[in-house]
Structure 1
């Protein structure tokens, strides 16, 4: 196996191939071949000479992904793939066909170390960070699937397995690559980055001047409850987290989304809604309510529809912008980590 070029920028590719006598402009040609034409073999890059293709094949590789398992919802709107990298590690990537276009949810780590009480991604712990190429390969794979129907990825949500801000450097490189004209030429405003609340990295991301949407997993209106649901709160308090969220909004001019998973009998009461509204008052932000996706090992239940409506109404009455996430892929357990956990547990995938 030669040096893997997948995940490098055009300039980085040019620098790597220069010692072999290839011209700098070949870097962009190779990048387009990998990222836009979905080529995983240098021999298929027919815009290069036979000699150049032979040289590249001898010294370099294009490492992408293979499909280990897949599930598709009955309504045809959601597809979930367990994608394997070289070496065998797997992550989940989800395609959601929304009214506004095709949205994909991608992973940044194999497993997760955050320990959130409601999430399947953390059941088997953290294995490792993904490389830039491994993050990017998930999007290229989805682009390839959609290209068959002459469609494309319209929005990217970095909200799959893992904590994106714990893989900060690779995340930022990935975001910049997505924006390049020889990759996806995707506007930063079409990308959302989710975090459980790594406060120092929220400030760092704001300074990058990449106007991506920041989505903060809140899930509780008090430190006591949030620390029980999300161990990260024991390190970064609600006050510190919300201050960081305000700083991100001020630096970027982008409205911050606060995700709030509703768990029956745990955080879905009207008093908790009132406390949440108080926290959100005056912020450049919106609240996204999400009924918990039940994970057998966690034993948590979703509230009834009327309880979710009451919770949302309390926020609306206090002039907080709130949405209730439209569920997709419930019949295939599309929440992050569930498919991978099934495979690791040796269970059949339906």
Structure 2
């Protein structure tokens, strides 16, 4: 089977170009066609010789995830169901902001962490995504915006908060981030990329050393006992006191902070008592808290918090000097909101 050139890093692409007897500068030209321009048909790469294009057609491929379905929310959120070459289905979401889009990317087909509030967690994990499937989600979204003449808002920010646990696919995550950051690739800077993790033992130090994206940690509880109830697999593997110790030494730039994500579940973790415990837990950590009102799915174990409880929780954190934001929920009518990504077409 011919290699998929979208699975190559730029250095790997240079090696491939040399192996087929072409000069090294061809790799840079090809790289720009694939990533900057989103072109996968070699015949359309007009600054390459016809001979070289024919050779590529014989010896290589350029395969992006296939768009199986597109759903658009009343609030402008766009959810893509993508089919991979082996039939696996993965979701990615474009979230509209006033001047741009933020894309929520998946790193695995499914997820093995089984957090109780997350629809993806009910699926299990089929496999890790490849470089072409992970970074390729950005190309698919950009091509869609171009084809639909929706480029007045450009795709500016990326959040790895879709299907899967990014730190369980670390090697491909870092490889994809290099392609994303490359000026001749997708050209989206590190400070515009955020990677969210539940916390996988032994990965935070390595991820921080690369300094290729901002870090967000799915916390969701102020105590070990409650965290084990909400996200038992992650909490038992990485006890809260150890997680906090590692976050205190996590490298951040002078004006940056680690983001702690906290999904509010009615009657579970949304009381003022929980807010007080959270302030105590985070008192020595350079962080900000992102509160997320839970979005129930069709078979949810939990309910959305009352608006007054969200307000009281947020105001208490702010009164104690904590930086706290409330994420506005989008895409609920197409099951694209936080915790709702679960592929309903799997196996159909």
For each residue in 1:32-88, what CA deviation from the matched residue of structure 2 results, as whole angstroms up to 9, or x when unmatched? 11112211111111111111001010000001011112211113x200011111111
2:106 counterpart residue number:
107
1:67 equivalenced with 2:80 (yes/no): no
1:163 counterpart residue number:
165
Shift of the alpha carbon at 1:99?
A: 2.2
Shift of the alpha carbon at 1:249?
A: 4.0
Q: Secondary structure at the match of 1:183?
A: coil
- 1:136-215 matches, within 5 Å, as 136-147=135-146, 148-150=149-151, 151-210=153-212, 212-215=213-216
- 1:178-327 matches, within 5 Å, as 178-210=180-212, 212-230=213-231, 231-250=233-252, 254-327=256-329
CA–CA separation in structure 1 for the residues paired with 2:22 and 2:120: 43
Cα contact 1:111–1:337 (8 A) shared by 2: no
CA–CA separation in structure 1 for the residues paired with 2:56 and 2:342: 34
1:125 counterpart residue number:
124
CA–CA separation in structure 1 for the residues paired with 2:53 and 2:65: 22
Shift of the alpha carbon at 1:11?
A: 2.2
CA gap of 1:341–1:185, structure 2 versus 1, over 3 A, is closer
CA–CA separation in structure 1 for the residues paired with 2:127 and 2:143: 26
Cα contact 1:11–1:28 (8 A) shared by 2: no
CA gap of 1:10–1:252, structure 2 versus 1, over 3 A, is farther
Normalised to the residue count of structure 1, the TM-score between the two structures is 0.94
Q: Secondary structure at the match of 1:64?
A: coil
For structure 1, the residue ranges without an aligned partner over 5 or more in a row are none
For each residue in 1:237-279, what CA deviation from the matched residue of structure 2 results, as whole angstroms up to 9, or x when unmatched? 1111122222224478631000000000111111111000111
For each residue in 1:198-254, what CA deviation from the matched residue of structure 2 results, as whole angstroms up to 9, or x when unmatched? 1311111111133x2100000000000101111211011111112222222447863
Q: How many pairs align?
A: 344
1:6 equivalenced with 2:6 (yes/no): yes
Bigger shift: residues 302-311 or 330-339? 330-339
1:90 counterpart residue number:
89
For structure 2, the residue ranges without an aligned partner over 5 or more in a row are none
Q: Secondary structure at the match of 1:215?
A: strand
1:42 equivalenced with 2:55 (yes/no): no
CA–CA separation in structure 2 for the residues paired with 1:287 and 1:66: 36
Cα contact 1:263–1:292 (8 A) shared by 2: yes
CA–CA separation in structure 1 for the residues paired with 2:201 and 2:23: 43
Shift of the alpha carbon at 1:129?
A: 0.2
1:329 counterpart residue number:
331
Q: Secondary structure at the match of 2:120?
A: coil
CA–CA separation in structure 2 for the residues paired with 1:104 and 1:302: 24
Shift of the alpha carbon at 1:310?
A: 0.9
